[in-house]
Structure formats: structure tokens, C-alpha cells
């Protein structure tokens, strides 16, 4: 009971930061779907680190190797397994962490759960690196959805208190996001101010958090099941599988607290002969079921817990407090890299409901 998501589509993710490989098995995906490998590769590169001064110095090739379920780039209907081999790993420095858990990481809770057998190197199975297999699955699902007329996009909505513009809730400008910018935003200038905050934090041996906003176009009405299998339930279940996510909100989200019913209710209307709503505070979901309006959600990403600054922790063996200094290569801000992960997570959740 772990690391497996989905009902009709089953996504099983495996691997540790420093294991021989990380990867995913996607069972139940339709047969006969052509995967554009170049497109997939480009999508994965958006998650990969190493594109600028603000990211980790590590270089992850992240080229997926398909072991099964695909012949000549066409899915066979059988479970798709793809792996990414871990080649560039430096495992030497983890003995210290085995005893002194890093604040904000899963080191301590993994120790409680798995004991000393936990593979702590690079965070093991809890590493942000494990979002790469999620992005393989998501990248495949995104292509499937696109064939069905459904598009998904995301952007950095906020970093360190600096805000980007928001998607138009009725017609989200998915094509206006600068996906290949160091920070994918709608408003390039906002992105530059975010970058300044990131570099400032970095220079202060610190890190910053932020918010990602994700939206769709073309999702038909009627997806999702009532109560515990609604779109919000399913999407949040997978999105909290992305490390560092601490909150999720749909449509008007936490803003509903200050709205009157008369403001928050989205009046129904006819647009182009179709039943639509005049506003989209409901984020495309009513009663857990899609309304055909864009699905819109935002997720909060905490600041990278690995910071170069000295921090207080404890020695697990000696049960006493102890100072900790983390070495190694760490992003001062993982929010930009979380953008494709959100798209991937939503794509997998939607595919699961559609097939």
C-alpha cells in the first residue's frame, strides 16, 4: 500500500535517489497510442535541473528507457515500464544524515517507519527525483489527453511573495506561459523579480517557497465520481504525492472564506450553444464532477528544506540535540521544477477517470 495511484489506470512508482534506477509502471493505459518521444523528452527536460544559476548543479540526463508496453513508440496495451538509470550519484556523504535527520525532510519519519534499513542516500524514495517517473507517466498521459482535445498547463503563481498574473479562469492562457524560461510565468517581469528573490536567498544560504497554478482547456463535463472519487479528491491525492506540497485549492479556493454566496456562485449561461458559467469560482468542478469549465487548482510548495545554513537537529542514536550542516548540491527553489510535475499529476488523474 504505497506509491501506487489510480483505479482504472494504475501508476506504480519505484526507485530511490541512489538506487540503480528509478521508474514507473503504468498499467491499464490504452493500446495503440503513439508516444512522441521527442515531445516526451522535452516535457521531461522542463522538470530536469541544471538550467541556470538558480538550480542545482547536478546534471540529470533523465532519458527514460522503455522496458515494456511500447513497440515502435506505440503502446501495446500491456503495462508500460520506463526507467531512468541513476548514474551521477555521490553516496559518500550520507553517513552523517543516517543519524542526524535533516529538518523539513522525511529522514526522521522514514527512520521511524523503516529503521536503519531506509536508504537515506539522497533522500531515498522520498527524493524529489522521484517526480521524474511521475513526469514520464504524466507526459504520456498529456499526449493522450491532447489527442482528445484536452490541454493542461501550469505556471509559477508565486515565489517568495512575488506574484505572477493569474490564469483567466474562463479561458486560461496556457499558451502564454514561458515554459522554457528559468521560471515559467505569464508575466516575464514577475519572473525576473522571483529570480532575484531566489538568488538573494541562495546567497544567504537559504531557500524560498511558492505556489504553482495549473489549468485545463477542453475537459468535458461529467468526469469524476461523487464523494470520495471526485476530481478534487483524486487530484489532491496524487498532487500531495509530489514532495514539498503543503496545500491545494480549487477555483476560488481559500478565497471563498471572504465571499458571499451571491459572489461565489457561478451563474449558468449559454455560450456558443453550450451550457457554461459566467464566472469560474468553482474551478471547473461541482459536486466532484467536471462542469466543462477549465479545471483550475493551485498548490503550495514549501521552500527547499536542504539549506546550506547550519540548523539544529538531533542525534537519533544519542537522543541529544546536535547541529547539522548539509553539504551537497541543492536547489534554492524547487517551485519552477514543480510546474511540469503538477501538469503530470493532473494528466494522470484525468486519464484515470477517462479510460
Shortest distance, CB of residue 282 to its own copies, whole angstroms? 7
User: Which lies closer to its own copies via its Cβ, residue 175 or residue 192?
Assistant: 192
User: Which lies closer to its own copies via its Cβ, residue 62 or residue 266?
Assistant: 266
74 lies in the binding site for its own copies (CB under 8 A):
yes
Q: Are 326 and 305 in contact (CB under 8 A)?
A: no
- Spatial neighbors of 328 by CB under 8 A, at least 6 apart, are 90, 93, 306
328 lies in the binding site for its own copies (CB under 8 A):
no
Candidates 69, 128, 138, 336: give the one binding its own copies (CB under 8 A).
69
Q: Are 154 and 343 in contact (CB under 8 A)?
A: yes
User: Which lies closer to its own copies via its Cβ, residue 160 or residue 339?
Assistant: 160
DSSP-assigned states of every residue in 44-110: HHHH-S-SSTTS-S-------EEEESEETTEE-SSPEEEEEE--S---GGGHHHHHSPPTTSSHHHH
C-alpha cell at 228: 470520495
181 lies in the binding site for its own copies (CB under 8 A):
no
228 lies in the binding site for its own copies (CB under 8 A):
yes
Shortest distance, CB of residue 193 to its own copies, whole angstroms? 14
Shortest distance, CB of residue 94 to its own copies, whole angstroms? 11
Element (H, E) at 246: strand 245-250
309 lies in the binding site for its own copies (CB under 8 A):
yes
Candidates 92, 113, 189, 203: give the one binding its own copies (CB under 8 A).
113
Instruction: Output the CA–CA distances (angstroms, integers) from residue 45 to 11, 21, 61, 182, in the order listed.
Output: 21, 18, 8, 12
256 lies in the binding site for its own copies (CB under 8 A):
yes
Candidates 19, 56, 216, 280: give the one binding its own copies (CB under 8 A).
19
Q: Are 132 and 60 in contact (CB under 8 A)?
A: yes
List the one residue out of 158, 190, 165, 176 whose CA is nearest residue 336. Answer: 158
User: Which lies closer to its own copies via its Cβ, residue 31 or residue 53?
Assistant: 31
Give the position of cell 547539522: 324
User: Which lies closer to its own copies via its Cβ, residue 135 or residue 208?
Assistant: 208
Residues from 197 through 216 that contact its own copies (CB under 8 A): 201, 206-211
- Name the region of 22 (left: φ>0; alpha: ψ -120 to 50; beta: rest): beta
Shortest distance, CB of residue 291 to its own copies, whole angstroms? 5
Cα separation of 335 and 68, whole Å? 32
User: Which lies closer to its own copies via its Cβ, residue 114 or residue 180?
Assistant: 114
Binding segment for its own copies (CB under 8 A), chosen from 47-55, 154-162, 164-172, 179-187, is 154-162
User: Which lies closer to its own copies via its Cβ, residue 175 or residue 323?
Assistant: 323
User: Which lies closer to its own copies via its Cβ, residue 153 or residue 230?
Assistant: 230
Residues from 259 through 298 that contact its own copies (CB under 8 A): 259-270, 273, 275, 277-278, 281-283, 285-291
Shortest distance, CB of residue 50 to its own copies, whole angstroms? 20
92 lies in the binding site for its own copies (CB under 8 A):
no
For residue 117, the 8-state DSSP code is G
Sign of CA dihedral 193, 195, 200, 206: positive
Cα separation of 106 and 126, whole Å? 7
Shortest distance, CB of residue 264 to its own copies, whole angstroms? 5
User: Which lies closer to its own copies via its Cβ, residue 25 or residue 185?
Assistant: 25
For residue 34, the 8-state DSSP code is B
Residues from 160 through 179 that contact its own copies (CB under 8 A): 160-161
Shortest distance, CB of residue 175 to its own copies, whole angstroms? 25
Amino acid at each position: 500500500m504505497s506509491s501506487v495511484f489510480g483505479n482504472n489506470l494504475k501508476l506504480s512508482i519505484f526507485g530511490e535517489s541512489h538506487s540503480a534506477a528509478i521508474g514507473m509502471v503504468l498499467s491499464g493505459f490504452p493500446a495503440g497510442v503513439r508516444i512522441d518521444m521527442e515531445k516526451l523528452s522535452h516535457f521531461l527536460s522542463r522538470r530536469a535541473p541544471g538550467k541556470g544559476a538558480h538550480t542545482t548543479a547536478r546534471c540529470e540526463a533523465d532519458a527514460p528507457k522503455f522496458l515494456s508496453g511500447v513497440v515502435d513508440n506505440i503502446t501495446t496495451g500491456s503495462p508500460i515500464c520506463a526507467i531512468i538509470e541513476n548514474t551521477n550519484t555521490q553516496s559518500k556523504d550520507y553517513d552523517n544524515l543516517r543519524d542526524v535527520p535533516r529538518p523539513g525532510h522525511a529522514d526522521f519519519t522514514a527512520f521511524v517507519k523503516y529503521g536503519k534499513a531506509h536508504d537515506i542516500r539522497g533522500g531515498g524514495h522520498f527524493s524529489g527525483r522521484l517526480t521524474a517517473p511521475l513526469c514520464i507517466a504524466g507526459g504520456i498521459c498529456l499526449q493522450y489527453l491532447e489527442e482528445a482535445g484536452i490541454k493542461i498547463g501550469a505556471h509559477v503563481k508565486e515565489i517568495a511573495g512575488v506574484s505572477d498574473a493569474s490564469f483567466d479562469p474562463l479561458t486560461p492562457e496556457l499558451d502564454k506561459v514561458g515554459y522554457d524560461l528559468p521560471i515559467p510565468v505569464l508575466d516575464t517581469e514577475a519572473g525576473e523579480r522571483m529570480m532575484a528573490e531566489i538568488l538573494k536567498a541562495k546567497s544567504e544560504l537559504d531557500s524560498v517557497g511558492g505556489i504553482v497554478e495549473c489549468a485545463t482547456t477542453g475537459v468535458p463535463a461529467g468526469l469524476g465520481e461523487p464523494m470520495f472519487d471526485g476530481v478534487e479528491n483524486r487530484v489532491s491525492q496524487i498532487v500531495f504525492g509530489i514532495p514539498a506540497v503543503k496545500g491545494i485549492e480549487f477555483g476560488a479556493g481559500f478565497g471563498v472564506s471572504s465571499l458571499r454566496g451571491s459572489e461565489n456562485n457561478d451563474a449558468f449561461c449559454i455560450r456558443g450553444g453550450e451550457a457554461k458559467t459566467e464566472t469560474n469560482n468553482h474551478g471547473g468542478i461541482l459536486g466532484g464532477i467536471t462542469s466543462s469549465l477549465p479545471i483550475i487548482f493551485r498548490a503550495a510548495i514549501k521552500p527547499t528544506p536542504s539549506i546550506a545554513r547550519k540548523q539544529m537537529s538531533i542525534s537519533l542514536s544519542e537522543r541529544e540535540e546536535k547541529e547539522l550542516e548539509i553539504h551537497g548540491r541543492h536547489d534554492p527553489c524547487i517551485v519552477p521544477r514543480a510546474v511540469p510535475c503538477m501538469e503530470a499529476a493532473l494528466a494522470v488523474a484525468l486519464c484515470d477517470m477517462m479510460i
